[in-house]
Amino acid sequence: MGEVKKGGYLALKQFPGRNPLLIYHPCSDSCSLILTEFGTFLTNDRFITSEELKIVPTDLKPLNLQEVRAAAFLESDILFLVGDAVYLRRPKGFYLQLGPESGLPTEGLIGLLGRSHCDAVYPLKAGKKVLIAVLVWSRNSIYVGNINATFTRFNELKQSLSILNMPLDSNIDIVTVAFASRPVEFSILIQAVYQDYKRLMLIIVNDEENRWILSAMFSKLVNDSLPLNPLHMEFISSALSSVFVWNNNTIFYNLHDDKKNGKMHVNLDENISHAAEGSIIEQLVIDSNLNIIIKMSNNMLLHGVVGSDELVRLHVWEREDAKVTLYLTLLDQLYMIKVEDFKIRPTLYPLSMEKISSSLQTKSPPCPFIYFHHNKKSPIYNMDMTEELTFWAQIIYADNFGVEVEALILNHKLLELNYQINYQLHGRFYVNNKTITLTHNKDYRKAKNYMAAIKSTSGVLTLEFQPSMVSSSCIISSNTISFISVGCPPRKHIKVQRDHPVKCTFHDKQSYIISRHHVTNSLIDILAYYDKPRYGCPMQIHHKKSYKPTILLYIGEKLIEKVNVQYVIWEKYNRNDFSFNDSIKKVVCNSKTESILVKDRPHKMNNWKESIINPCTEFDYPNTSYMTLNSSSDRFLTWPTDHNALFLFHVKIVDPNFSFCNLTATFAIETYGVIIRDDIILVISLVWTFILILLCIFGYSYYKYIKIFRGMLSKPASNELYVGF
- pLDDT tens-place string over residues 600-646: 333 343 444 334 444 454 444 445 566 677 777 777 888 998 888 89
* Residue 2: predicted pLDDT: 41
If pLDDT is split at 50, 70 and 90, which confidence band does 188 have?
A: very high
414 lies in a domain? yes
pLDDT tens string 78-109: 999 988 899 999 887 778 889 999 999 988 99
If pLDDT is split at 50, 70 and 90, which confidence band does 126 have?
A: low
3-state secondary structure 96-151: EECCHHHCCCCCCCCEEEECCCCHHHCCCCCCCCCCCCEEEECCCCEEEECCCCCE
Mean pLDDT (the chain) is: 83
CA dist., res. 614 & res. 633, Å (int): 21
**359 and 439: one domain?**
no
278 lies in a domain? yes
The mean pLDDT value for 378-384 works out to: 92
If pLDDT is split at 50, 70 and 90, which confidence band does 595 have?
A: very low
**560 and 521: one domain?**
yes
160 lies in a domain? no
If pLDDT is split at 50, 70 and 90, which confidence band does 329 have?
A: confident
Q: What is the CATH number of the domain that holds 433?
A: 2.60.40.10
**517 and 661: one domain?**
yes
720 lies in a domain? no
If pLDDT is split at 50, 70 and 90, which confidence band does 680 have?
A: low
User: Taking 90 as the threshold, does the pLDDT of residue 417 lie above it?
Assistant: yes
181 lies in a domain? no
**648 and 527: one domain?**
yes
Residue 89's DSSP bridge partners are 78, 95
CA dist., res. 389 & res. 379, Å (int): 14
**317 and 436: one domain?**
no
**633 and 603: one domain?**
yes
Q: How many CB atoms lie within 10 A of CB 397?
A: 21
Answer with the one of 486, 508, 536 that is the final residue of a domain: 486
**133 and 245: one domain?**
no
Residue 512's DSSP bridge partners are 528
Cis peptide before 227, with omega less than 30 degrees from 0? no
pTM for the complete prediction? 0.82
**338 and 481: one domain?**
no
**3 and 140: one domain?**
yes
633 lies in a domain? yes
Answer with the one of 154, 186, 201 that is the final residue of a domain: 154
36 lies in a domain? yes
The full DSSP string for 302-368 is EEEETT--B-EEPPP-S-TTS-EEEEE-TT--EEEEEEETTEEEEEE--HHHHHHHHHHHHTPPPPS
User: Taking 90 as the threshold, does the pLDDT of residue 62 lie above it?
Assistant: no
610 lies in a domain? yes
User: Taking 80 as the threshold, does the pLDDT of residue 362 lie above it?
Assistant: no
**659 and 513: one domain?**
yes
Q: Which domain holds residue 414?
A: 370-486
Answer with the one of 302, 332, 363 that is the final residue of a domain: 363
If pLDDT is split at 50, 70 and 90, which confidence band does 473 have?
A: confident
The mean pLDDT value for 139-152 works out to: 92
The mean pLDDT value for 254-273 works out to: 92
The mean pLDDT value for 264-273 works out to: 92
**89 and 16: one domain?**
yes
What percentage of residues in the chain have a pLDDT greater than 90?
A: 38
What's the angle, vertex CA 456, arms to CA 453 and CA 462, rounded to 5? 140
User: How many domains, in total, are found in the chain?
Assistant: 4
If pLDDT is split at 50, 70 and 90, which confidence band does 679 have?
A: low
CA dist., res. 436 & res. 30, Å (int): 37
pLDDT tens string 312-327: 999 888 888 888 999 9
User: Taking 70 as the threshold, does the pLDDT of residue 589 lie above it?
Assistant: no
565 neighbors 655 (Cβ within 8 angstroms) = yes
Q: What is the CA radius of gyration of the chain?
A: 40
If pLDDT is split at 50, 70 and 90, which confidence band does 419 have?
A: very high
User: Taking 50 as the threshold, does the pLDDT of residue 3 lie above it?
Assistant: no
**544 and 639: one domain?**
yes
* Residue 57: predicted pLDDT: 59
Using CA atoms, how far residue 550 sits from 59, 265, 539, 564, 626, in Å, is: 64, 67, 13, 9, 18
* Residue 74: predicted pLDDT: 92
